[in-house]
Structure 1
Amino acid sequence: MFSQGQITFGILFAIAFIAILVFAYRKDIKLHRKYFKGSIWVLIAFISFIAMIAAIKFFLG
């Protein structure tokens, strides 16, 4: 399906992309703590809502 070169490129690209994301996040961590304080509750509510919809679909469908 994919050639060896495409697989190698994909893996190296993913590693580089994740490394850049981690570096950028670490650089801005003080700003994140200041401006996004309490945003974890929004994430928890969103995941709970999606889980509730999945549970309803599982039990009723």
Structure 2
Amino acid sequence: MTIEELKEYFNTVSLPNEIQITVDMHIFDLPKFLQANLAALDRWNRELEKCPSYVRLINLKKAIENQ
């Protein structure tokens, strides 16, 4: 999934107020989480799949889809 596809997904999906992504990752402020991680993706200049923010956003997408 590309950065643009992720941005489009998060712009169109209904976001919960908070979400438990993994056992050790509970997000309380989704807009701030998305803003920070999407900004980090824009600055990343290596392989996308190795970016920690990319992994977080993919995990968030999976968590939303599994709700």
Larger proportion of helix: 1
- The structure with more radius of gyration: 1
Q: Which has the higher contact order (CA 8 A, sep 6+)?
A: 2
TM-score (structure 2 length as normaliser):
0.28
Larger proportion of strand: 2
